[in-house]
A and B are shown apart, each in its own frame.
Chain A
């Protein structure tokens, strides 16, 4: 798009928060330069543009950094407000509800699946799975409330809350391959499971969700890294 200025995204291929931002940029049809970061060896760009947290994603727009994925998504929505679709709903109350559940995703859903991933024994994993079950149940309720019977949290098409949740899906698929666990079970949370299938098949899902195998490979890399760190102590 002409006149949008210089846009770069510092990311890491399997970070769900980065995927979330890529989804927002794709929804708006905005082009940008993507720069993959090595999080085991953080480079000068990352340290300069996110000195506080040293994390991805970082959106650099005309040389100015924006950090925190949900802040970035809202920024993209506001700067490219003239391009449809609108990522957040227009009604203030619906926006508040979307923000509430997006915060829930980051506060509860994300740590819950990380817990499953990091579990060191089968017993611990089972415990984490049952904690996750309560969270997934809540998202089933949220979906019913937000979607009003339509295909997505945001209604007829993908929006803020869909990408807030959906950016995590490929990791759930990776964990199914790695551990045989099914986090979003159609038998227990049918609406949410159906939504997940629709999201994966949506344009933004197909374009932006990485392959589950890439996530599984990365998980092995983290594990090896941790083992090496422990061994060297």
Chain B
């Protein structure tokens, strides 16, 4: 009898989406518990007292697994099903490197979206250069970073496919442009069209509506990041 899997998430989070894709690709049934992050439940505070963030994965009675990419590696290792990470150690190291790179990009992406003037322009240039580096990791003639099917790196980068457009709309800034990154844009379309992804991709307009009220918060975070640089 399989132990129950619960995923604590919230609507519109790209990090929660990552975990949902991983669970679905692996064929693991789960219960999604949606949090209102303005009113955190006792469940969330108990299981992730530390960061109080989503996603949080509960597998049976085990203590929570937190941090989306760490959760995905856990899913890959704890459950049978198609592998999410490559099987070759070098390819795995590359996938982990580029997933870590995505994490490092978050500051320049955020500053490029939510600030203005020269600070914004410099970060936009940096972010576009980062997108080029990521784009180059797409294997020649394949739909996904993982090859013919979605893999770990597709999931790590997947936020860009859907949420970049959302943030660009709210911010009024364009970072991912067809002429500048044709291969990455093509990848983004393939990602969105994937059947498994489609099962857990939140409706774009609903996400825009949910995240637009957070714009001021995003701006203040971006300003703090810019000040730290």
Q: Report the minimum CB–CB distance from A114 to chain B (whole Å).
A: 12
Q: Which residues of A contact B133 (CB under 8 A)?
A: 52
| CB of B135 closer than 8 Å to a CB of A | no
CA distance A119 to B200 in the complex (A): 46
- A92 pairs with B89, CB closer than 8 A: no
User: How many residues on chain A are close to B (CB under 8 Å)?
Assistant: 22
If over half of B's interface residues share one DSSP class (helix, strand or loop), that class is named, otherwise mixed; here it is helix
Interface centre among A52, A71, A72 (most CB of B within 10 A): A71
- B90 pairs with A75, CB closer than 8 A: yes
- A74 pairs with B93, CB closer than 8 A: yes
| CB of A211 closer than 8 Å to a CB of B | no
| CB of A100 closer than 8 Å to a CB of B | yes
Stretch at the interface among B71-79, B146-154, B156-164: B71-79
| CB of B100 closer than 8 Å to a CB of A | yes
CA distance A61 to B96 in the complex (A): 17
Contact with B along A69-82 (1 / 0, CB 8 A): 01110110011000
Beta-carbon contacts under 8 Å, A58-74 to B: 61, 64, 66-68, 70-72, 74
How many A-B residue pairs lie within 8 Å, measured between CB atoms? 58
Q: Which residues of B contact A198 (CB under 8 A)?
A: none
CA distance A74 to B90 in the complex (A): 10
| CB of A37 closer than 8 Å to a CB of B | no
| CB of B62 closer than 8 Å to a CB of A | yes
CA distance A29 to B90 in the complex (A): 20
Q: Which residues of B contact A78 (CB under 8 A)?
A: 89, 92
- A71 pairs with B78, CB closer than 8 A: no
Q: Which residues of B contact A72 (CB under 8 A)?
A: 93
Contact with A along B53-72 (1 / 0, CB 8 A): 00000010011011100110
Q: A67-B97, A68-B100, A138-B50 are in contact. Are A92 and B74 (CB under 8 A)?
A: yes
Q: Report the minimum CB–CB distance from B218 to chain A (whole Å).
A: 20
CA distance A64 to B50 in the complex (A): 38
Q: Which residues of A contact B70 (CB under 8 A)?
A: 96, 99-100, 103
Beta-carbon contacts under 8 Å, A23-45 to B: none
| CB of A93 closer than 8 Å to a CB of B | yes
Q: Report the minimum CB–CB distance from A88 to chain B (whole Å).
A: 10
Q: Which residues of A contact B67 (CB under 8 A)?
A: 99-100, 103
CA distance A78 to B194 in the complex (A): 31
If over half of A's interface residues share one DSSP class (helix, strand or loop), that class is named, otherwise mixed; here it is helix
- A96 pairs with B65, CB closer than 8 A: yes
CA distance A113 to B85 in the complex (A): 33
Beta-carbon contacts under 8 Å, A89-118 to B: 92-93, 95-97, 99-100, 103
| CB of B101 closer than 8 Å to a CB of A | yes
- A92 pairs with B93, CB closer than 8 A: no
- B93 pairs with A93, CB closer than 8 A: no
- A79 pairs with B89, CB closer than 8 A: yes
CA distance A184 to B94 in the complex (A): 35
- B50 pairs with A75, CB closer than 8 A: no
- B97 pairs with A93, CB closer than 8 A: no
Q: Report the minimum CB–CB distance from A71 to chain B (whole Å).
A: 4
- A74 pairs with B96, CB closer than 8 A: yes
Q: Report the minimum CB–CB distance from A59 to chain B (whole Å).
A: 9
Q: Give 4 A-B pairs besides A75-B90, A97-B65 with Cβ atoms closer than 8 angstroms.
A: A74-B93, A78-B92, A96-B65, A138-B50
- 22 A-B residue pairs with Cβ-Cβ distance under 8 Å, sorted by A, are A52-B133, A61-B90, A64-B90, A66-B94, A66-B97, A67-B97, A68-B96, A68-B97, A68-B100, A70-B100, A71-B96, A71-B97, A78-B92, A79-B89, A93-B62, A93-B74, A93-B78, A96-B70, A96-B71, A96-B73, A97-B63, A103-B70
> Lowest 3 A-B CB distances belong to which pairs?
A92-B77, A78-B89, A92-B78
